[in-house]
Amino acid sequence: MNILELRNINFAYKSKNIGEKFFLSDISFQVSHGDFIGLLGPNGSGKSTLMKIISGILKPANGNIYFEEDEIGTINRRNIAKKIAFVPQKNNSVFPFSLFEIVAMGRTPHLAYHGFENKNDAVIVEDALNRLGIYNLRNKGINEVSGGEAQRAFIARALVQKPKLLLLDEPNAHLDIKHQIAIFDLLKELNQDEKLTIISVSHDLNLAGLYSKRGILIKEGRIIKDGSIGEIMNRNYIQEVFDVNTAIQFNEKLKSYSVTVLPNELG
Protein backbone atom coordinates (compact mmCIF):
# COMPACT_ATOMS: atom_id res chain seq x y z
CA MET A 1 0.00 0.00 0.00
CA ASN A 2 1.26 3.48 -0.85
CA ILE A 3 1.48 6.06 1.90
CA LEU A 4 0.88 8.94 -0.53
CA GLU A 5 -0.44 9.33 -4.05
CA LEU A 6 -0.85 12.44 -6.17
CA ARG A 7 -3.10 12.21 -9.21
CA ASN A 8 -3.08 14.90 -11.89
CA ILE A 9 -2.36 17.84 -9.60
CA ASN A 10 -2.61 21.24 -11.28
CA PHE A 11 -2.02 24.60 -9.66
CA ALA A 12 -1.50 28.18 -10.79
CA TYR A 13 -0.87 31.51 -9.18
CA LYS A 14 0.05 34.93 -10.43
CA SER A 15 3.23 36.56 -9.22
CA LYS A 16 2.68 40.02 -7.76
CA ASN A 17 6.18 41.04 -8.78
CA ILE A 18 6.39 40.16 -12.44
CA GLY A 19 2.78 39.70 -13.44
CA GLU A 20 3.36 36.22 -14.81
CA LYS A 21 1.61 33.02 -13.94
CA PHE A 22 3.32 29.96 -12.48
CA PHE A 23 1.86 26.54 -13.13
CA LEU A 24 2.17 23.05 -11.74
CA SER A 25 0.98 20.80 -14.53
CA ASP A 26 -0.37 17.25 -14.23
CA ILE A 27 1.79 16.21 -11.28
CA SER A 28 1.29 12.52 -10.53
CA PHE A 29 3.40 10.13 -8.46
CA GLN A 30 3.14 7.54 -5.72
CA VAL A 31 5.17 7.28 -2.54
CA SER A 32 5.77 3.90 -0.88
CA HIS A 33 6.07 3.40 2.86
CA GLY A 34 9.70 3.84 3.88
CA ASP A 35 10.74 5.75 0.77
CA PHE A 36 13.33 8.54 0.92
CA ILE A 37 12.73 10.89 -2.00
CA GLY A 38 14.79 13.85 -3.11
CA LEU A 39 12.54 16.37 -4.89
CA LEU A 40 15.08 18.15 -7.06
CA GLY A 41 15.04 21.13 -9.36
CA PRO A 42 16.30 24.67 -9.83
CA ASN A 43 14.89 27.66 -7.98
CA GLY A 44 11.39 28.51 -9.15
CA SER A 45 10.67 25.03 -10.50
CA GLY A 46 7.71 24.42 -8.17
CA LYS A 47 9.26 22.26 -5.46
CA SER A 48 8.14 24.38 -2.51
CA THR A 49 4.70 24.93 -4.02
CA LEU A 50 4.23 21.19 -4.40
CA MET A 51 5.21 20.56 -0.77
CA LYS A 52 2.71 23.19 0.39
CA ILE A 53 0.01 21.45 -1.62
CA ILE A 54 0.83 18.05 -0.10
CA SER A 55 0.83 19.53 3.40
CA GLY A 56 -2.51 21.30 2.83
CA ILE A 57 -1.23 24.89 2.97
CA LEU A 58 -2.22 25.40 -0.67
CA LYS A 59 -5.16 23.87 -2.51
CA PRO A 60 -4.67 22.50 -6.04
CA ALA A 61 -6.86 23.78 -8.84
CA ASN A 62 -7.77 20.18 -9.55
CA GLY A 63 -6.48 16.68 -8.98
CA ASN A 64 -6.50 14.40 -5.94
CA ILE A 65 -4.15 13.58 -3.08
CA TYR A 66 -4.49 10.31 -1.17
CA PHE A 67 -2.86 9.46 2.14
CA GLU A 68 -2.94 5.75 2.94
CA GLU A 69 -5.67 5.40 0.30
CA ASP A 70 -7.99 8.01 1.88
CA GLU A 71 -8.59 11.28 0.04
CA ILE A 72 -6.62 13.70 2.17
CA GLY A 73 -9.40 16.28 2.30
CA THR A 74 -11.63 13.79 4.12
CA ILE A 75 -9.18 13.21 6.98
CA ASN A 76 -9.55 15.21 10.19
CA ARG A 77 -6.79 17.86 10.38
CA ARG A 78 -5.80 16.72 13.87
CA ASN A 79 -5.27 13.20 12.56
CA ILE A 80 -3.33 14.53 9.57
CA ALA A 81 -1.05 16.41 11.97
CA LYS A 82 -0.31 13.14 13.76
CA LYS A 83 0.78 11.51 10.52
CA ILE A 84 2.31 14.23 8.33
CA ALA A 85 4.91 16.75 9.50
CA PHE A 86 6.15 19.63 7.36
CA VAL A 87 9.26 21.75 7.84
CA PRO A 88 8.94 24.78 5.54
CA GLN A 89 11.88 26.59 4.03
CA LYS A 90 11.29 29.68 6.16
CA ASN A 91 10.19 29.63 9.78
CA ASN A 92 9.48 32.85 11.60
CA SER A 93 8.42 33.36 15.19
CA VAL A 94 7.10 36.73 16.27
CA PHE A 95 7.04 35.67 19.92
CA PRO A 96 10.24 34.90 21.86
CA PHE A 97 9.44 31.25 22.56
CA SER A 98 12.28 29.13 23.91
CA LEU A 99 13.61 26.27 21.78
CA PHE A 100 11.99 23.84 24.22
CA GLU A 101 8.62 25.54 23.69
CA ILE A 102 9.06 25.60 19.91
CA VAL A 103 9.80 21.87 19.81
CA ALA A 104 7.01 21.07 22.29
CA MET A 105 4.50 22.63 19.88
CA GLY A 106 4.95 19.55 17.73
CA ARG A 107 3.22 17.48 20.42
CA THR A 108 -0.01 19.51 20.10
CA PRO A 109 -1.91 16.95 17.96
CA HIS A 110 -1.22 14.26 20.57
CA LEU A 111 -2.30 16.22 23.64
CA ALA A 112 -5.44 15.38 25.57
CA TYR A 113 -8.25 17.88 25.27
CA HIS A 114 -7.09 19.77 28.38
CA GLY A 115 -4.11 20.78 26.23
CA PHE A 116 -1.26 20.16 28.70
CA GLU A 117 1.89 18.13 28.10
CA ASN A 118 2.62 15.18 30.37
CA LYS A 119 5.93 13.63 31.41
CA ASN A 120 6.02 11.45 28.31
CA ASP A 121 5.67 14.49 26.06
CA ALA A 122 8.56 16.18 27.88
CA VAL A 123 10.74 13.09 27.40
CA ILE A 124 9.95 13.04 23.66
CA VAL A 125 10.82 16.74 23.36
CA GLU A 126 14.08 16.36 25.29
CA ASP A 127 15.06 13.37 23.18
CA ALA A 128 14.50 15.37 19.98
CA LEU A 129 16.53 18.30 21.33
CA ASN A 130 19.35 15.87 22.10
CA ARG A 131 19.22 14.20 18.69
CA LEU A 132 19.37 17.57 16.95
CA GLY A 133 22.26 18.71 19.15
CA ILE A 134 20.47 21.68 20.69
CA TYR A 135 19.57 20.43 24.17
CA ASN A 136 22.03 22.90 25.68
CA LEU A 137 20.07 25.72 24.00
CA ARG A 138 16.63 24.56 25.16
CA ASN A 139 16.02 27.63 27.32
CA LYS A 140 17.27 30.11 24.72
CA GLY A 141 14.74 32.18 22.83
CA ILE A 142 14.21 31.21 19.20
CA ASN A 143 15.25 34.73 18.18
CA GLU A 144 18.45 34.49 20.22
CA VAL A 145 20.02 31.58 18.34
CA SER A 146 21.60 31.32 14.91
CA GLY A 147 19.62 30.48 11.77
CA GLY A 148 21.09 26.98 11.74
CA GLU A 149 20.20 26.35 15.37
CA ALA A 150 16.66 27.60 14.77
CA GLN A 151 16.40 25.33 11.73
CA ARG A 152 17.35 22.33 13.85
CA ALA A 153 14.69 23.30 16.38
CA PHE A 154 12.00 23.35 13.69
CA ILE A 155 13.14 19.94 12.43
CA ALA A 156 12.97 18.66 16.01
CA ARG A 157 9.43 20.09 16.27
CA ALA A 158 8.43 18.02 13.24
CA LEU A 159 10.00 14.85 14.62
CA VAL A 160 8.14 15.02 17.94
CA GLN A 161 4.90 14.80 15.98
CA LYS A 162 5.97 11.18 15.43
CA PRO A 163 4.76 11.34 11.82
CA LYS A 164 4.62 8.60 9.24
CA LEU A 165 5.52 11.09 6.48
CA LEU A 166 8.06 13.88 6.89
CA LEU A 167 8.13 16.72 4.36
CA LEU A 168 11.23 18.93 4.36
CA ASP A 169 11.65 22.03 2.23
CA GLU A 170 15.42 22.53 1.92
CA PRO A 171 16.27 21.26 5.42
CA ASN A 172 19.95 22.10 4.82
CA ALA A 173 19.16 25.83 4.54
CA HIS A 174 21.17 27.90 7.04
CA LEU A 175 23.19 24.83 8.12
CA ASP A 176 26.96 24.55 7.83
CA ILE A 177 28.46 21.43 6.25
CA LYS A 178 28.91 19.62 9.57
CA HIS A 179 25.28 20.06 10.56
CA GLN A 180 23.99 19.29 7.07
CA ILE A 181 25.62 15.87 7.30
CA ALA A 182 24.44 15.39 10.90
CA ILE A 183 20.83 16.19 9.92
CA PHE A 184 20.87 13.88 6.92
CA ASP A 185 22.57 11.10 8.91
CA LEU A 186 19.70 11.37 11.38
CA LEU A 187 17.11 11.36 8.59
CA LYS A 188 18.74 8.26 7.09
CA GLU A 189 18.66 6.57 10.50
CA LEU A 190 14.98 7.40 10.98
CA ASN A 191 14.21 6.19 7.47
CA GLN A 192 16.05 2.90 7.89
CA ASP A 193 15.33 2.05 11.53
CA GLU A 194 11.88 3.57 12.06
CA LYS A 195 10.63 3.34 8.46
CA LEU A 196 9.88 7.05 8.39
CA THR A 197 8.91 8.10 4.87
CA ILE A 198 10.71 11.26 3.79
CA ILE A 199 10.35 13.72 0.92
CA SER A 200 13.12 16.31 0.97
CA VAL A 201 13.22 19.32 -1.35
CA SER A 202 16.65 20.39 -2.54
CA HIS A 203 18.72 21.60 -5.43
CA ASP A 204 21.79 19.98 -3.85
CA LEU A 205 22.41 16.97 -6.07
CA ASN A 206 25.26 15.67 -3.92
CA LEU A 207 23.16 15.44 -0.76
CA ALA A 208 20.44 13.68 -2.74
CA GLY A 209 22.99 11.34 -4.31
CA LEU A 210 24.35 10.45 -0.90
CA TYR A 211 21.11 9.93 1.04
CA SER A 212 18.02 9.58 -1.18
CA LYS A 213 16.71 6.27 -2.46
CA ARG A 214 14.67 7.89 -5.19
CA GLY A 215 14.64 11.20 -7.01
CA ILE A 216 12.01 13.32 -8.74
CA LEU A 217 13.37 15.97 -11.09
CA ILE A 218 11.05 18.92 -11.62
CA LYS A 219 11.39 21.94 -13.91
CA GLU A 220 8.94 24.74 -14.67
CA GLY A 221 6.15 22.96 -12.84
CA ARG A 222 6.50 19.62 -14.61
CA ILE A 223 8.07 16.32 -13.62
CA ILE A 224 10.96 15.58 -15.97
CA LYS A 225 12.06 12.27 -14.45
CA ASP A 226 10.95 10.07 -11.55
CA GLY A 227 13.09 7.08 -10.69
CA SER A 228 15.70 5.52 -8.46
CA ILE A 229 18.49 7.86 -7.44
CA GLY A 230 20.77 5.95 -9.82
CA GLU A 231 18.44 6.69 -12.73
CA ILE A 232 18.17 10.34 -11.73
CA MET A 233 21.94 10.78 -11.55
CA ASN A 234 22.21 10.95 -15.31
CA ARG A 235 24.06 13.85 -16.92
CA ASN A 236 21.44 14.19 -19.67
CA TYR A 237 18.57 14.61 -17.20
CA ILE A 238 20.62 17.01 -15.08
CA GLN A 239 21.53 19.01 -18.18
CA GLU A 240 17.84 19.22 -19.12
CA VAL A 241 16.70 20.31 -15.66
CA PHE A 242 19.58 22.44 -14.37
CA ASP A 243 21.16 23.50 -17.69
CA VAL A 244 24.68 22.54 -16.57
CA ASN A 245 27.30 20.05 -17.70
CA THR A 246 28.29 17.50 -15.09
CA ALA A 247 30.50 14.54 -14.33
CA ILE A 248 28.85 11.88 -12.16
CA GLN A 249 30.70 9.35 -10.07
CA PHE A 250 29.43 6.30 -8.18
CA ASN A 251 31.07 5.39 -4.88
CA GLU A 252 30.99 1.61 -4.62
CA LYS A 253 31.72 1.60 -0.88
CA LEU A 254 29.03 4.10 0.05
CA LYS A 255 26.65 3.07 -2.75
CA SER A 256 26.14 6.76 -3.45
CA TYR A 257 26.54 9.29 -6.24
CA SER A 258 28.45 12.54 -6.45
CA VAL A 259 28.03 15.28 -9.04
CA THR A 260 30.70 17.69 -10.26
CA VAL A 261 29.58 20.69 -12.29
CA LEU A 262 31.89 21.27 -15.25
CA PRO A 263 32.73 24.44 -17.13
CA ASN A 264 30.74 24.63 -20.37
CA GLU A 265 33.82 24.10 -22.52
CA LEU A 266 34.40 20.71 -20.84
CA GLY A 267 30.87 19.47 -21.43
**Per-residue confidence (pLDDT) for residue 42, from 0 to 100:** 93
* pLDDT for the residue numbered 19: 56
The DSSP secondary-structure symbol of 263 reads -
Mean per-residue pLDDT pooled into runs of 10, the chain (267 residues): 95 68 91 98 93 93 95 90 92 80 93 71 95 96 91 95 96 89 95 96 93 97 97 96 94 93 73
> Cα(107)–Cα(127) distance, rounded to whole angstroms?
13
> Residue 10 to residues 18, 25, 30, 50, 90: CA-CA distances in angstroms?
21, 5, 16, 10, 24
- Write out the E strands in 123-208: 165-169, 197-202
Instruction: Identify the architecture of domain 1-68+192-267 in CATH.
Output: 3-Layer(aba) Sandwich (3.40)
Percent composition of the chain: helix, strand, coil (DSSP 3-state, to 5): 40, 30, 30
Give the full edge-to-edge strand order of the sheet including 2-14: 21-32, 2-14, 62-67, 70-71
What pLDDT shows up at residue 113?
60
Domains in the chain: boundaries: 1-68+192-267
